[in-house]
Amino acid sequence: MPSKTRTGFGYDIHRLEAGRRLVLGGVDIPHPAGLLGHSDGDALVHAVIDALLGALAEGDIGALFPDTDPRYKGARSLGLLETVMGRLRARGAAVVNVDAVIVAEEPKMGPHIPAMRAALAPVLGLPETAVGLKAKTNEGLGPVGERRAIACFAVALLSWPD
């Protein structure tokens, strides 16, 4: 175990809106509704970014990529993650692993999880075996259960070489 490690935690939720693209983990998922957002609305990548920034104690995604900044309108969230990885590497850190949960009533996420792990792993500098990803429903409860939103949670472990 390296002498210095840090964990970080991230959460995000976006509203679902009919007719928008649904992008999660950098993957386009066929669905009649997508996530509303200034960027592509990829709540999974946003939760992962906040986990990484949390481990660095560098605030959150909104401070780094303000939703008032036209540069980030429609931005590909995987690109934002690449920017965060640059900051992380500049701090001398590497990601050890990431684990995340998608909470969505529909569509079924299971078939898309391999593609999401394959999209996230290279950006994080990790093998796919170090990118955990699960999906569950909210059992019909609350805005996620009522199909009005999708929420994501993520944790990350960072290490600094001795």
Q: Which is nearer to Mg ion, 53 or 159 (CB)?
A: 53
Minimum distance from residue 46 beta carbon to Mg ion (Å): 4
Strand partners, 160: 4
Of 7-15, 18-26, 109-117, 135-143: span binding Mg ion (CB under 5 A): 7-15
Query: For residue 156, what is the enclosing H or E element?
Result: strand 149-160
CA dihedral 18, 113, 146, 80 (to 10 degrees): -60
Identify the three-state secondary structure at position 51: helix
Q: Which is nearer to Mg ion, 11 or 128 (CB)?
A: 11
Q: Determine the residue with CB nearest Mg ion.
A: 46
8 A C-beta contact, residue 7 and residue 157: yes
Of 45-53, 89-97, 98-106, 136-144: span binding Mg ion (CB under 5 A): 45-53
Could you give the CA distance from residue 81 to residue 30 in angstroms, rounded to a whole number?
23
- Binding flag, residue 50, Mg ion (CB under 5 A): no
Helices (H) and strands (E) in the chain, counts: 5, 7
Q: Where in 9-28 is the site for Mg ion (CB under 5 A)?
A: 12
Three-point CA angle 149, 146, 105, nearest 5°: 70
Q: Which is nearer to Mg ion, 9 or 160 (CB)?
A: 9
5 CB neighbour count, 10 Å cutoff: 13
DSSP code of 142?
Answer: H
Minimum distance from residue 44 beta carbon to Mg ion (Å): 9
- Binding flag, residue 46, Mg ion (CB under 5 A): yes
Of 6-14, 26-34, 107-115, 146-154: span binding Mg ion (CB under 5 A): 6-14
Number of shown-chain residues binding Mg ion (CB under 5 A) = 2
Of 4-12, 17-25, 98-106, 131-139: span binding Mg ion (CB under 5 A): 4-12
Identify the three-state secondary structure at position 9: strand
Chain residues binding Mg ion by CB under 5 A are 12, 46
